[in-house]
Homo-oligomer: A and B are copies of this chain.
Amino acid sequence: MPKNQYVSTAVIRRMPRYYRFLGELLERGVTRISSKELAALMNLTASQIRQDLNCFGGFGQQGFGYHVALLHEEIRKILGLDQGFRAILIGVGNLGRAFVNHVDFTGSGFDLVGLFDKNPALIGKKISGLTVQDADEISAFCAAHTVDVAVLCVPSEAAQQTANGLIDCGVTAFWNFTQYDIKVEHPEAVVESVHLADGLMALCYQVNDARRSSSSAEK
Q: Does A107 contact B (CB under 8 A)?
A: yes
Q: Is the CB of A17 within 8 A of B195?
A: yes
How far in angstroms is the closest Cβ of chain B from A219? Answer: 14
Given A195-B17, A195-B20, are A202 and B95 neighbors across the interface (CB < 8 Å)? no
Closest Cβ of chain B to A198, distance in Å, is: 4
A98 at the interface (CB under 8 A from B): yes
**Are the C-beta atoms of A94 and B104 separated by less than 8 Å?**
no
- Determine if B15 and A201 form an interchain contact, defined as CB atoms under 8 angstroms apart: yes
Interchain CB contact under 8 A, B102 and A200: no
Partner of A190 from the list B179, B195, B196, B207 (CB cut-off 8 Å) is B207
Task: Tell me whether A28 is interfacial, beta carbon within 8 Å.
Answer: no
> A15-B205, A102-B94, A207-B148 are known contacts. Are A214 and B197 too (CB-CB below 8 A)?
no
Interface string of A98-120 (1 = CB under 8 A from B): 11011111011110000000000
In the complex, which residues 187-218 of chain A have their Cβ closer than 8 Å to any Cβ of chain B? Answer: 187-190, 192, 194-211, 214, 217
Interface string of A155-179 (1 = CB under 8 A from B): 0000000000000000011010001
Name A residues whose Cβ lies closer than 8 Å to a Cβ of B.
10, 12-13, 15-17, 19-20, 78-81, 83, 85, 93-95, 97-99, 101-105, 107-110, 148-149, 172-173, 175, 179, 187-190, 192, 194-211, 214, 217
Closest 3 interchain pairs by CB?
A80-B208, A109-B204, A16-B198
A-B contact pairs, 29 of them (CB 8 A): A12-B205, A13-B198, A15-B205, A16-B198, A17-B195, A20-B195, A79-B201, A79-B204, A79-B208, A80-B205, A80-B209, A81-B201, A85-B204, A94-B94, A94-B97, A94-B98, A105-B200, A109-B201, A110-B200, A110-B204, A173-B206, A175-B199, A175-B200, A187-B210, A188-B214, A190-B203, A190-B207, A192-B200, A192-B206
